[in-house]
Amino acid sequence: MRTKWSVALAALAVMGSSGAALAQSRPGQYGGGFIEYLMTGDAYGPARRPAVDGYGALGGPRHAATEPAMQPRARFAALPTGPAPEEATIARAVDPRYARQVVAYDGPGRAGQIVIDTNAKYLYLIQPGGQAIRYGIGVGRPGFVWTGAKTISAKREWPDWTPPAEMLRRRPDLPRHMAGGPENPLGARAMYLGTSLYRIHGTNEPHTIGQNVSSGCIRMMNEDVIDLYERTPVGTRVEVI
């Protein structure tokens, strides 16, 4: 009996040696399971070997020369395949309704004057012949909307900003003074309305055009406030309705 078992074990050893050699050239040919284990020492075969989260075989790195590429498991399908988009690419855009344009006009005022419709979020620079240049604007948030007539008393390019005491009481985190420039919330130009704290000015937040956002000032896109600035002298009447 011992002799028979010795012969059988020797035969299996020879088969295993020759099988391993064959497995190197034709991996997985025994279909996996116990026979595959006896012949190759691998119960799965490369094509069926389990992976760790879909990224490589259990028990060590894969060898590209002898194993097919493994596909990630389906549960990874929702993972991003590239870098997340930058915030700048997902920022809100200005509504096309608020683009500067020439429109028919039959409202109050006369040529050369400014009329601001806070409800519609439009500023009109009245032109001769029943027309006006219409600009989109941002206006005061609830509690800060106002109406009345003013005149442009001063104009500034890239104005400095000194928040008034009333604003600092509401927002003590604000700077006491900010020099003019692209980061300044007054934007590229400012037109001061009489002796009030209100201005028509630009903004470094163009996506706020068309919204109730300010503390009573009228804000415009920088390119629009530059255009209006060039067209309106000191003394221009401004009616806010």
Active-site residues, by number, are 201, 217
Alpha-carbon distance 51 to 53, whole Å?
A: 6
Q: Identify the sign of the CA torsion 178, 184, 188, 192.
A: negative
Q: How far is CA 196 from CA 43, 57, 138, in A?
A: 86, 74, 18
Q: How far is CA 9 from CA 40, 63, 201, in A?
A: 16, 31, 94
Pick from 57, 68, 70, 66: nearest CA to 24: 66
Alpha-carbon distance 138 to 214, whole Å?
A: 7
- Find tokens 């806070």 and name the residue: 118
* SS3 category, 151: strand
